[in-house]
Amino acid sequence: MHYLGGSVPENKVSPEIVAAYRSDLLSQVKQDLQAHQRLCCKWKLRPEFVIVEDDNVASSLRDQISRLGANKFVLGKSTSTFLRKFKGRSIPDIILEDGSYPCTVFVISNGKLISMRSARVSPQSSLAVDSHASASLSYCNSNGFSNGALSSSRCSGSAYSAHDECNEKNILFWERGSSLDMASNSHCEDSYQQKNLPVTFNKSKVEQLEQHLQVARQMAAIAKKNAAWLNAYAKEEARMREQAVLEAEAAKEELAKQAKNLEATRLALEVEFQRRKDAEDQASRLASSGKENLANMKYRGYHFEELKIATDGFAPENRIGEGAYGHVYRGTLHHTAVAIKVLKKDSVQGPMQFQREVEFLSHMHHPNIVLLLGACPEQGCLVYECLANGSLEDRLLCKGNTVPLSWQTRCRIIREVATALLFLHSFKPNPYVHRDLKPANILLDQNFVSKLGDVGLVALASSNILYDVTQYKETTPVGTYAYIDPEYKRTGVFTPRSDVYAFGVVMLQILTAKSPLGLPTIVKAAFKENKLDMVLDASAGDWPLHVAADLSCIAIQLCRSKPKKRLDLKDVLPALEKLLGEFG
């Protein structure tokens, strides 16, 4: 096969390059054959085409003519002088000079006979070509021949068959100008021929095909990698999109839930605020009018038998508390849960004084003071509202494996107790002093709202209380030791500042959940060493250190040994409101 760019042996290139080259060459041959088939159809011939590859075109044509027994051989000659100069002698010239061809050779160019050579031997019969004959045309591939040599070691062929109407004519064509070699014989039965001959390929075209193949392989590898990446990316994108949808739906549900909770909280706060405001207004009116204005008011009295029935005969299983002044029982009166405190007989003062104190306490209404519902003066029994969550002391110790109070709830309790104490100390003409303030006497309702309990209990159990003085003197200590004002221990005199001292200790217990004994000294030392976080109750959650530090500082100043150096509740409550207002 002849090319301008040189040649490359078949065994020097890959099988893929060889296959691609042969496929490209065969496609070109088939296109040329279609043009000749149309020409034959025009003359009403039904040819059979045979494609043959060989390293010597002239010799191959001679062999085909001999095999077919053709008498005449017609071939075309190119008029291009450029190809003639480049390739040298043409195939028609070689055949005309070869006297071994057993047939008459006709050479035509541009439709004119330019040369003819008679057969080496006279054929037995000469056959003429007419328009009614059909022929078998054999196409011999001459593309790529260089000086009549091919470097391939094999020869391949393919056939296109058509039925002959006449088997008498034998014609062989060779067209050089279109790079086509054709031989015809009505007796050609081979549809495919192959010889083990060397084939020589165009070197530049082989290199080009190799480059194209390499690029194609690289592109295929890149496309495969990109496809895998795109597939993984699509899966990840779908997963992330699905996850985002789920998260968005969950966030939407959570926001709706929070909005609903906030609305419910807002409504509850409005109700609570109004209730507190009403109670404070009423308590303020009562406090300003003085105790004497309450002398004619009556409280609800209960018969002792009613209280026995309410507590199942004061059964031990209904006992919920025990103190220095008596026992506390859980009971039910008129379908209402109540707490009934039975004072010890030796601690109850005279009936008149008891009745007077009970009448006053039963009308002392404040949202942060336990409500006294009534009493049984004959047996020294007091009936209070029952609070569901017990005492602050039990909650700080997590009694019964209860959940620890959060630091937000503890901050709110501090403010509520301060409000209740200031309310008691604001009575006119004389302040009302609790005298036994401690976590056990601070009770919590179902919403963990704190209420001061045992208000007036010390007064009920004491016979030497004077209501027209601002300080009281006891011959024996009253209250719990760790919460007792040091000044009271020394002099036996208690004042509203005695409650202030106890409130400071209670604040420190709320912050640390530790024993009250020596607690002010412990917290003060930690505060100075910047180790306050080491003494805070961790079960309350993550305390804001600035809030805890401010509360500790206030509590330490409330616990000073000298009463005059202690902060006044009138100054403390606004500071607490400012500090804790954001926490509810």
C-alpha to C-alpha distance for 390 and 405, rounded to whole angstroms: 13
CA distances for 254 relative to 240, 258, 259, 490, angstroms: 20, 6, 8, 59
Burial class (CB in 10 A: 0-12, 13-18, 19+), 579: middle
Asked if residue 516 has a cis previous peptide bond (ω within 30° of 0), the answer is no
Q: What is the DSSP letter of 583?
A: G
- Please list, residue by residue across 429-450, b when 16 or more beta carbons sit within 10 angstroms of its beta carbon and e when fewer do: ebbbbbbbbbbbbbbbeeebbb
| Residue 338: strand pairing partners | 331, 385
Q: Which long-range contacts (CB under 8 A, 24 or more apart) does 213-217 make?
A: 213/14, 213/16, 213/17, 213/20
Cβ contact 190:50 at 8 Å: yes
| Mode of pairing for the β-strands spanning 112-117 and 159-160 | unpaired
C-alpha to C-alpha distance for 77 and 90, rounded to whole angstroms: 8
* SS3 call for 452: strand
Which position among 54, 55, 164, 436 bears the catalytic label?
A: 436
C-alpha to C-alpha distance for 429 and 288, rounded to whole angstroms: 8
Cβ contact 57:145 at 8 Å: yes
Burial class (CB in 10 A: 0-12, 13-18, 19+), 136: buried
Burial class (CB in 10 A: 0-12, 13-18, 19+), 152: buried
Other CB atoms within 10 A of residue 77 CB:
21
Q: What is the DSSP letter of 145?
A: -
Clarify whether 436 is annotated catalytic: yes
- The DSSP element (H or E) to which 278 belongs, if any, is helix 203-289
Give the CA count within 13 Å in the CB-facing half-sphere of 345. Answer: 2
Residue identified by tokens 């450029």 is 82
CA-closest candidate to residue 45, choices 205, 157, 166, 177: 166
Q: Is 528 annotated as a binding residue?
A: no
What residue numbers does the annotated binding site for ATP cover? 341
Catalytic residue numbers read 436
